[in-house]
Amino acid sequence: MEQKEQREKIYLSSPTMHGEEQKFVAEAFDTNWVAPLGPNVNNFEKEMAEYTGCGYAAALSAGTAAIHLALRLIGIQPGDIVFSSDLTFSATCNPICYEKGTPVFIDSEEDTWNMDPQALKKAFEKYPQVKAVICAHLYGTPAKIDEIRALCDAYRVPLIEDAAESLSSTFRGQMTGTFGDYGIFSFNGNKIITTSGGGMLVSSDEKAIEKARFLSTQARDKARHYQHSQLGFNYRMSNVVAGIGRGQLIHLEEHKRKKKEIYRQYKEAFADIPALAMNPMNPDGDANNWLSCMTIEPESGVTPDMVMDALEAENIESRPIWKPMHLQPFYENCDFIAMEENGSVGERIFKKGFCLPSDIKNTPADMELIIGIIRSFFV
């Protein structure tokens, strides 16, 4: 039987390796710094701190672990209220529950799809006892982080910036992840740079980052015998994994340029179709466009599912928008703060939006194919 030649799958956002990664990994092997820690970990932290201007960084096994440790460092206790972005990946808020805190979800704004500062203000008025705020920069678009920071300062509440998706994005020239008391990054497989899996906790507070390193390596007290006066975690990044990160970091700005170009091409290609809009940019920011997203107006009669099905039939990966946390069965008993009486901005974006293939290895032919499939629904 003759098989029809299959074009290679077009991915949403798959790892892009360059070669330097292997050099750093090989170094780890050659010097037998395979485990536990070692020069790649220290250097990756230093290089990330320099690149972002965050001050200090602790390399960890995941972005989720970084959020968890930030909450530990802040001292979240059972029953404490923590505000969280609503339209985001569940990893943003799950660590609140690891500490038995109580998440309260804050609706998004149309302007950036991120936490609405007005809804945040409303939440502070309702829960002045709140202990922390976690704000994500969705799909790499910076939130109105100056307004969010100012509100947190006014209420003297620490801010954790979930910059897992926004590494290299800036707000008024400053890197996202460096506005909060703590910032976190992720190097998961589909992020703008990857270590196969990993994360980083950053802060301008050197002592806090030292403490994070201590907590992430089982919280061993300074003693020859194994002594623990605090609860520890096994959250540290390995020296092999950090080697991949160092190699990737060299190419971060290049990845960003390519991601921005993909967004630009989509925006231009659909500009003449009134039912379609790209995810909005923050005019005060420079996004990394980690994932390009679009919305389809329901009046067009075309749904995101129809388009995603058509792409899938051509072996092209796309993805729905994150389902808002206040609509998740696990979080159904949590409070949700929105500026609208009925429904929410987040739910509307979830229903009419989806993520476009944003892989930086997409060829011009791939882009043409994707754009053609989507346009065929409208013209």
Q: Which residues bind ligand PLP (CB under 6 A)?
A: 62-64, 88-89, 91-92, 136, 162, 164-165, 186, 188, 199
Q: How far is the CB of 63 from ligand PLP (least distance, A)?
A: 3
Q: Is 245 exposed, middle or buried (0-12, 13-18, 19+ CB in 10 A)?
A: buried
Q: How far is the CB of 323 from ligand PLP (least distance, A)?
A: 13
Q: Considering beta carbons, is residue 165 or 181 the nearer one to ligand PLP? A: 165
Give the residue at shortest CB distance from ligand PLP: 63
Q: Considering beta carbons, is residue 188 or 302 the nearer one to ligand PLP? A: 188
Cα separation, 298 vs 277, in Å, equals 12
Q: How far is the CB of 289 from ligand PLP (least distance, A)?
A: 14
Query: CB under 8 Å to 9, separation ≥6 — which residues?
Result: 315, 316, 317
Q: 3-class DSSP state for residue 202?
A: strand
Q: Considering beta carbons, is residue 48 or 91 the nearer one to ligand PLP? A: 91
Helix (H) / strand (E) element for 102: namely strand 102-106
Q: Considering beta carbons, is residue 24 or 290 the nearer one to ligand PLP? A: 290
Instruction: Specify which residues 200 forms β-bridges with.
Output: 59, 185
Q: For residue 324, what are its two tokens? A: 């808002």
Q: How far is the CB of 118 from ligand PLP (least distance, A)?
A: 22
Q: How far is the CB of 169 from ligand PLP (least distance, A)?
A: 13
Q: Considering beta carbons, is residue 38 or 140 the nearer one to ligand PLP? A: 140
* DSSP code string of 282-322: PTTEE---SS-EEEE-GGGS--HHHHHHHHHHTTB--EEPP
